[in-house]
A and B are shown apart, each in its own frame.
Chain A
Amino acid sequence: QSALTQPASVSGSPGQSITISCTGTSSDVGGYNYVSWYQQHPGKAPKFIIYDVTNRPSGVSNRFSGSKSGNTASLTISGLQAEDEADYYCSSYTGSSSYVVFGGGTKLTVL
């Protein structure tokens, strides 16, 4: 069982927006603004797409945005494209001896 809880799957049609949630506790997501998100296509390494809850690394499309409320962080993808179909993982710093924890991942299907 992963430390952070994500929905197993979400789907949307091209052009639509979707949101993926990532729920933790006050010891991780809720306690720090150190949430990141990764995109992973099948058979590929993860790609870094969001850090510090809302920031996008250079080169990442502005269709990707992050937010947080309490113990839940969210990733929103607007203007869905076929290439967005992938697995998405959230991650958070934790004040425990585990240092950093990941969510279980969410499979995004573009219909």
Chain B
Amino acid sequence: EVQLVESGGGLVQPGGSLRLSCAASGFTFSIYAMSWVRQAPGKGLEWVSGFSGSGSGGSTYYADSVKGRFTISRDDSKNTLYLQLNSLRAEDTALYYCAKDLGSSWPVYYFDYWGQGTLVTVSS
């Protein structure tokens, strides 16, 4: 059974930093592209960032809204995906989901499994 478990969310002041983690199990983590998708309270879904699977050179992808502030990474030996959030703003407040991509290696941006999310609140 595929499982994705996010952690690391919390309350942080504007300008602060946070590191999210996503522990994966139930599939061969290394070969699949992975993404972070967020959902602001009461709002819709927004893709944030993606990381290609093995065999594709470790390519990373970012939404324009987070480019230069967020950094995605993965540790295939630990089956874990990360998202480093820096220079946080109030508009970054959201539930952050980790999502497995349907495609291996290169992302196809179809998310067939999702975690339950970790809440990031940016407020003073």
Quick one: which of B47-96 are within 8 Å of A by CB? Answer: 47, 50, 61, 63-64
Q: Classify the secondary structure of A's interface with B.
A: strand
- Does B109 lie within 8 Å of A98, measured CB to CB? no
Number of interface residues of A (CB under 8 A): 22
Please report the C-alpha to C-alpha distance between residue A89 and residue B45 in the assembled complex, in whole angstroms: 8
Residues in B whose Cβ lies below 8 Å from that of A38: 45, 111
Q: Which of A51, A97, A103 contacts B110 (CB 8 A)?
A: A51
Residue in B closest to A106 when the chains form the complex, CB atoms: B44
A102 B46 Cβ-Cβ under 8 A: yes
Q: What A residues does B37 contact at CB under 8 A?
A: 46
In the complex, which of the residues B45, B64, B102, B113 contacts A102, with contact meaning CB atoms closer than 8 Å?
Answer: B45
Cα A89 to Cα B97 in complex, Å, equals 15
Q: B111 near A48 (CB under 8 angstroms)?
A: yes
**Count of B interface residues, CB-CB < 8 Å:** 22
Q: Tell me the chain A residues, 61-101 only, with Cβ under 8 Å from chain B.
A: 89, 91, 93, 97-101
B46 nearest in chain A by CB position: A102
CB proximity of B78 to chain A, nearest CB, Å: 22
**B44 & A100 in contact (Cβ 8 Å cutoff):** no
| Contact between chains at B44 and A105 (CB < 8 Å) | yes
Does any Cβ of A come within 8 Å of B1's Cβ?
no
Cβ of B115 under 8 Å from chain A: yes
Q: B111 contacts which chain A residues (CB < 8 A)?
A: 36, 38, 46, 48
Task: With A2-B44, A38-B45, A89-B45 as known contacts, state yes or no: A99 contacts B110, CB within 8 Å.
Answer: no
Q: A46-B114, A51-B102, A99-B63 are in contact. Are A34 and B47 (CB under 8 A)?
A: no
**Interface presence of A111 (CB below 8 A):** no
List the 4 shortest-distance A-B pairs measured between CB atoms, nearest first.
A45-B114, A100-B109, A105-B44, A102-B45
